[in-house]
């Protein structure tokens, strides 16, 4: 594995993992806070009858007012400020004009670029009063992400992260999505390394101080298979089972991990009321 000081390397170079310094951590903290505060705003707005297009507009306004730019606008042809993934949608749901319904579970994923740094985070939202089995999936997915993050420290591996997530999810008879993963992030939105949310302890890339990446497990109530809808973005569970996801952007410190996208308002997982 190649590691390089992040320095001026602003393009993705295959197999090269950037080691960031204190200025990058400061920049990422700022970008992460904007994205997280934006998700706090969504917690007040997401309710039955509201459309995801309305939420997306509010997300755009919030990020711009915070001095940022939504990273997803014009990203690989994407046109929106967020992804809004409901119920059986695994990820990359496109905001639309359908009103949210009582009982929906929804992931909102926002990436804010602030001073060139990308803060990437997502949370689940309970719309009205979802059934217990949906709320359980949401709870287990949050805990799975946090267990993955808790495995992060110098000398640990990406496989340790994936194993912690997979072991917890499968102990609850859920499955871990294979087709999407976490990623290095910084001045580049999607960079090396890939962070798989399943795996074997001690496998994969050895973590080092200065690495910055996301942990963003997608957990399905049924089987792990996904399929892509004809819009080219929306990924849904093959078996139509419910899916949930949370995402934090984190940095490896000398002794462990910094989470850049913790909620300023303490709204890290639902219920938010
Ligand atoms: N924010 C997503 C991630 O966690 C990426 C969304 S790309 C988009 O990596 F184009 F679908 F918005
Ligand atoms: Co994201
Ligand atoms: Co991400």
Q: Is 191 close to ligand 1, i.e. is its CB under 6 Å away?
A: no
The reply to whether the predicted model has a pTM over 0.95 is yes
Q: Can you tell me which atom of ligand 1 is nearest the CA of 214?
A: 4
Q: Is 56 close to ligand 1, i.e. is its CB under 6 Å away?
A: no
| Percentage of the residues of the chain whose pLDDT score is greater than 90 | 94
Q: Can you tell me which atom of ligand 1 is nearest the CA of 71?
A: 12
35, 109, 186, best to mutate for ligand 1 pocket (most atoms within 8 Å of CB):
109
Pairwise CA distance, residues 142 & 77, whole Å: 30
Q: Give per-residue pLDDT as tens, 187-233.
A: 999 999 999 999 999 999 999 999 999 999 999 999 999 999 999 99
Q: Is 123 close to ligand 1, i.e. is its CB under 6 Å away?
A: no
Contact indicator for 30, 43 with CB cutoff of 8 Å: no
Q: Give per-residue pLDDT as tens, 99-136.
A: 999 999 999 999 999 999 999 999 999 999 999 999 99
pLDDT of residue 9: 66
Pairwise CA distance, residues 97 & 20, whole Å: 41
Q: Whose CA is nearest to atom 7 of ligand 1?
A: 72
Ligand 3 centroid, distance to 121 Cα (angstroms): 7
Q: What beta strand segments (E) does the chain contain?
A: 2-5, 16-19, 69-70, 83-86, 89-91, 105-114, 117-126, 175-176, 182-184, 191-195, 212-215, 218-220, 226-228, 235-237, 243-245, 248-252, 257-259
Ligand 1 centroid, distance to 12 Cα (angstroms): 17
Ligand 2 centroid, distance to 111 Cα (angstroms): 6
As a whole number, mean pLDDT of residues 71-79 equals 97
Domains of the chain: 2-6+14-259 (3.90.230.10)
Q: Can you tell me which atom of ligand 1 is nearest the CA of 180?
A: 9
Structure tokens at 188: 């580049």
Distance of CA 48 to the CA centre of its chain: 24
Ligand 2 centroid, distance to 53 Cα (angstroms): 17
Ligand 2 centroid, distance to 80 Cα (angstroms): 13
């Amino acid at each position: 594995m190649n590691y390089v000081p992040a320095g001026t390397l602003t393009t993705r170079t295959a197999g090269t993992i950037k080691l960031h310094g204190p200025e990058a951590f400061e920049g990422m903290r700022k970008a992460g806070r904007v994205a997280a505060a934006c998700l706090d705003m969504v917690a007040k707005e997401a309710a039955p009858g509201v459309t995801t297009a309305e939420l997306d507009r509010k997300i755009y306004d919030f990020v711009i007012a915070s001095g940022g730019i939504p990273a997803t606008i014009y990203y690989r042809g994407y046109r929106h400020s967020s992804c809004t993934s409901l119920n059986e949608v695994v990820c990359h749901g496109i905001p639309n004009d359908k009103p949210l319904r009582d009982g929906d579970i929804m992931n909102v994923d926002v990436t804010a670029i602030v001073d060139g740094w990308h803060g990437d985070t997502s949370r689940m939202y309970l719309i009205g009063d979802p059934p217990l089995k949906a709320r359980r999936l949401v709870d287990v997915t949050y805990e799975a992400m946090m267990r993955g993050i808790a495995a992060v420290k110098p000398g640990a591996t990406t496989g340790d992260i994936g194993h912690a997530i997979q072991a917890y999810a499968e102990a609850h008879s859920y499955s871990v999505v294979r087709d999407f993963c976490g990623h290095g992030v910084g001045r580049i939105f999607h960079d090396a390394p890939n962070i798989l949310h399943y795996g074997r302890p001690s496998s994969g890339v050895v973590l080092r101080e200065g690495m910055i990446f996301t942990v963003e497990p997608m957990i399905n109530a049924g089987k792990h298979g996904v399929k892509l809808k004809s819009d080219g973005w929306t990924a849904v569970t093959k078996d139509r089972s419910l899916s949930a996801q949370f995402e934090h952007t984190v940095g490896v410190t000398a002794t462990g991990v910094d989470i850049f996208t913790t909620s300023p308002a303490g709204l890290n997982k639902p219920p938010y009321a």
